[in-house]
Structure 1
């Protein structure tokens, strides 16, 4: 997708200059994994015009394989972001109807092509929200991955401007039976899995309830944040595996440059930990710091290597490196 963001803290209706960034949930995760040294391919459909070419160049710059990136259609999905400041929250206006990806009438790949030599397939609920066809194709792809022994990751990524809680919940409950790694927090458990609320229930309780219904889910993860204002958040990460909840240290992000993509950076960190064989506590610490660091750079994607994050985990944030 193309993101067009306001600059200089202006309101969208008053703005005359927008900053352009390319991104999207799955693309951001792919870039994180490539930055960490993992071979990763990105599958999408973009128009065969300069904007579609810019998407390809953006991904290739970070080492993402684009052999599954198809060209066709006429529009690149776009959204406008009014960047929040202080008491004013950020606001999004979508302009993605009739995009090449959302309006395609047939799946651009066959499942064998998509899943060949694949260890983990990462899916997003945003894809399923785009059309009835994509909802079914996403479900079919998750089923095919499970049949071929490919691990399936799902980030629910609920967007209220794309579909309703009821529509999202129906999809999530259907696809969950094929998911191995699930990004979900307390509200996801309440709204989409209909887990009974428990006054003294920690996140582990909600994960236990979901796993009782879907024992195929091996790992759950989420972040929690305290929002002081639009530019100042406190961030923690959580990971649930083998009946135990792991929580990271807290990061006080006193000056947020760009919050967009913070969740994708966390997902990339979690997948890096899984693929690298980290212990759960190290995985959640790595992923949370990766997310916190994403808040310090402009654009949708993580711009740090595994070595960058590992060094910060060892030494902490200090003065200028000389």
Structure 2
């Protein structure tokens, strides 16, 4: 797919204890690179899309390693080289009724110290069709919230379709501002939004009641953010750390689409499943713009497959995802 997609976010080093060990007793850690926006971009590149990742990394071996990993998926990169450290997070894989756990170590990382005016957005957005960001970036600092706004203003002026994954992480909003004080001024530029209705008040400063259904909530969102064309939520049922049932709801032009459900009986790694969904949604909207129901089903199938893959990034290609959509399952060996 020749249409250029720009993704903006932090590339992180992920360290995980092997074999479902707890962090405090682990002597070794498996290393992966990822990050919400980078995960989505890498997945899109593996689907054949023309993707450019915008981020910042230190000028050292870890920065070089992280960028090399991103390039290996087929993405192009615009990396600002600054600072001395890459952001890190530790992920403790849960099992059964023991939940997974994330510990962030990303303060003062190269990305978190980016400032407005550092990135030449007009050059980056030249000939681009789509811009994707997430709510994780403005959670990290006031400066990054301003960088996001700078990018969104220019992307909007240049006519790009803009998507956002709310990705509400309460533990990251610790610089004195709440998400609902920052995010509404950024969401107003967006065309496509992925987020749960339980984030309505926390992220969007829109009150809902326990009686509000999807349509009522989405109508409230679109009334406040008139540029929104498509709103999507992913759903999890009967969930523990080892098995989930997942589904999705998509709302566009006052129509609500409910997806099929997937029962995932043995989760290998659920980190990045939402990013796999986001990548699938972007691919689906660009590929089948007149069939958003198919785009939603494609996104959910991509997310389902990510649960079977270790690391942050969905390694499934278009044929794998379409095969699952069309009824293929893991009960056979492909020969």
The residue number in structure 1 matching 2:272 is 261
Mapped pair 1:142 → 2:152? yes
Runs of 4+ deviating beyond 3 Å: 104-108
Point out where structure 2 has 5 or more consecutive residues left out of the alignment: 1-11
From 173, 182, 186, the equivalent of 2:184 is: 173
Residue by residue over 1:55-108, the C-alpha shift from the partner in whole angstroms, topping out at 9 and shown as x without a partner, is: 111111111012x12222210000111111111111111111111111234543
The residue number in structure 2 matching 1:187 is 198
TM-score, length of structure 1 as denominator length: 0.95
Count residues with an aligned counterpart: 321
The residue number in structure 2 matching 1:292 is 304
- Structure 1 Cα separation of the partners of residues 321 and 268 of structure 2: 18
- Structure 1 Cα separation of the partners of residues 200 and 309 of structure 2: 31
Mapped pair 1:156 → 2:166? yes
Mapped pair 1:125 → 2:135? yes
CA contact (8 A) 1:185 1:203 kept: no
From 28, 32, 54, the equivalent of 2:43 is: 32
- Structure 2 Cα separation of the partners of residues 245 and 220 of structure 1: 10
CA contact (8 A) 1:83 1:90 kept: yes
Deviation at 1:201, TM superposition (A): 2.8
Distance 1:121 1:250, change over 3 A: same
CA contact (8 A) 2:273 2:304 kept: yes
The residue number in structure 2 matching 1:62 is 73
Distance 1:280 1:161, change over 3 A: same
Q: Matches of residues 69-80 of structure 1 in structure 2 within 5 Å?
A: 69-80=79-90
**Aligned-CA RMSD value:** 1.6
Could you say what secondary structure the match of 2:133 adopts? Answer: strand
Deviation at 1:166, TM superposition (A): 6.2
Q: Which moved more, 1:228-237 or 1:19-28?
A: 228-237
- Structure 2 Cα separation of the partners of residues 231 and 285 of structure 1: 23
CA contact (8 A) 1:2 1:76 kept: yes
The residue number in structure 1 matching 2:30 is 19
Deviation at 1:189, TM superposition (A): 1.7
- Structure 2 Cα separation of the partners of residues 243 and 180 of structure 1: 15
Could you say what secondary structure the match of 2:59 adopts? Answer: coil
Distance 1:195 1:299, change over 3 A: same
- Structure 1 Cα separation of the partners of residues 46 and 233 of structure 2: 21
CA contact (8 A) 1:47 1:75 kept: yes
Could you say what secondary structure the match of 2:112 adopts? Answer: helix
TM-score, length of structure 2 as denominator length: 0.92
The residue number in structure 1 matching 2:8 is none
Mapped pair 1:321 → 2:331? no
Could you say what secondary structure the match of 1:48 adopts? Answer: coil
The residue number in structure 2 matching 1:223 is 234
Could you say what secondary structure the match of 1:201 adopts? Answer: coil
Could you say what secondary structure the match of 2:30 adopts? Answer: strand
The residue number in structure 1 matching 2:124 is 114
